[in-house]
Amino acid sequence: MKLKSLISCACFASLLSSAPAETVVKILHLQSNAKIIAIWQEAAQKFESAHPGVKVEFDYLENEAFKAKLPTLLQSKDRPSAFHSWGGGVMYEQVSSGICQDITKAASEGGFKDTFYPATIQNFTVDGKIYGLPNDVAPIVLWYNKELCQKAGVDPTKIQQWDDFVDAVKKCQAAGVTPVAAGGKDKWPLHFYTAMLMMRILGKDGMGAVYHGKNGGFASPDVVKAFQLYQAFTALQPFQKGYLANTYAEAAGTFHDGKTAFHLMGTWDLVEGRADSTDKKGLPNEKLGWVFFPEVKGGKGKANDLFASLDGWLVTKEAPKETIDFMKVW
């Protein structure tokens, strides 16, 4: 019996030593919607079932906490395999610092990258190399509360020019309706105004030229005009009281609680904004509408020129190869 026990123990130990070490794919995100996370978990379970020894973990950070903590996390030994990215200048810094992994070959296998719109792949491409993959596109639009606009005698569908929007704000104030919600504390919600005004004045080619330092760059008369229009707009005091101390979530909740007529925000406001309301449901579809950000008289930009958040995932330098494999399933 002792011999059999020794043999059994030896065989068990042999099996343990030959078992593959667990590979962990860590995804750092800022998604708070339970339904979306459930879909992600379903994809992870499917992948794990087909890849024994691989574990997918989703780690959450709130939007502003994510921005504050990410630089430190990326320098730590416990860095994520893939993390949320908006692309743009921050991504360029992360790539140039050597934090991100060139996934061009892996993303190109089997034509996988071709299943996305080319522009979305371009958003995560630096110097011809792909460092990430897109997740969603969220255009910035002008949301409006139908009931409050009707009370103020405003027809949002007739807001074609910037001056029309300014007039709508004045009508709201005259009717005792707070015109616009804004989360000034987080800063980025307010930059939509100046960015959109620049787009409407300069047009696509003009914006590209300014970005590359041509035609006076960001000191050009057209850029200055955009900021002057915004300065005149803020002088009207169009936003809710205390807007400079309000976060995006607080401003979104204000709008979806039916306390302001307008909210300039991305399409994520349908989910995130409603979740930030007092009843967690927000404005129902029958009370909610949207229009494109208005054009500026004499400007080169059109109302349907979109400014959008193009979110995705960057892959870190030492992330396991299973990270890309999972993203293909995800």
Checking if the pLDDT of 150 tops 70, the result is: yes
* Max CA separation in the chain (angstroms): 95
What is the per-residue pLDDT across 169-179, written as a single tens digit (0 to 9) for each? 999 999 999 99
Pair 26, 47 in one domain = yes
Pair 48, 162 in one domain = no
Checking if the pLDDT of 323 tops 60, the result is: yes
Q: Residue 245: inside a domain, yes or no?
A: yes
Q: What is the pLDDT of the chain when averaged over all its residues?
A: 93
User: Mean pLDDT across the stretch 149-174?
Assistant: 98
Q: Residue 5: inside a domain, yes or no?
A: no
Checking if the pLDDT of 292 tops 90, the result is: yes
What is the per-residue pLDDT across 242-281, written as a single tens digit (0 to 9) for each? 999 999 999 999 999 999 999 999 999 999 999 999 999 9
Pair 256, 316 in one domain = no
User: Mean pLDDT across the stretch 127-150?
Assistant: 96
Instruction: Provide the pLDDT for residue 157.
Output: 97
Pair 294, 251 in one domain = yes
Q: Residue 12: inside a domain, yes or no?
A: no
Query: Which letter, b or e, does each residue of 255-292 get, where b requires 16 or more Cβ atoms within 10 Å of its Cβ?
Result: bbeeebbbbbbbbbbbebbbbbbeeeebbeeeebbbbb
Pair 50, 142 in one domain = no
What range defines the domain where residue 256 resides? Answer: 138-299
Pair 175, 249 in one domain = yes
Q: Residue 16: inside a domain, yes or no?
A: no
User: Mean pLDDT across the stretch 62-67?
Assistant: 93
Q: Residue 319: inside a domain, yes or no?
A: yes
Q: Residue 203: inside a domain, yes or no?
A: yes
The whole model's pTM is what? 0.83
Pair 159, 268 in one domain = yes
Sorting pLDDT into bands at 50, 70 and 90, what band is 2?
A: low
Instruction: Provide the pLDDT for residue 7.
Output: 46
Share of the chain above pLDDT 70, in %: 94
Pair 261, 321 in one domain = no
Handedness of CA 78, 82, 85, 91 (dihedral sign): positive
What stretches of 143-284 show up as alpha helix (H) in DSSP?
A: 146-151, 162-174, 188-211, 221-234, 248-256, 272-275
Checking if the pLDDT of 99 tops 70, the result is: yes
Checking if the pLDDT of 5 tops 70, the result is: no
Checking if the pLDDT of 67 tops 80, the result is: yes
Pair 218, 316 in one domain = no
- Rounded Cα distance between 152 and 150, Å, is 5
- Looking at the structure of the chain, the number of domains it has is 2
Pair 100, 220 in one domain = no
Checking if the pLDDT of 6 tops 90, the result is: no
Q: Residue 159: inside a domain, yes or no?
A: yes
Instruction: Provide the pLDDT for residue 33.
Output: 86
- CATH for 177: 3.40.190.10
Pair 227, 204 in one domain = yes
Q: Residue 13: inside a domain, yes or no?
A: no
Checking if the pLDDT of 136 tops 50, the result is: yes
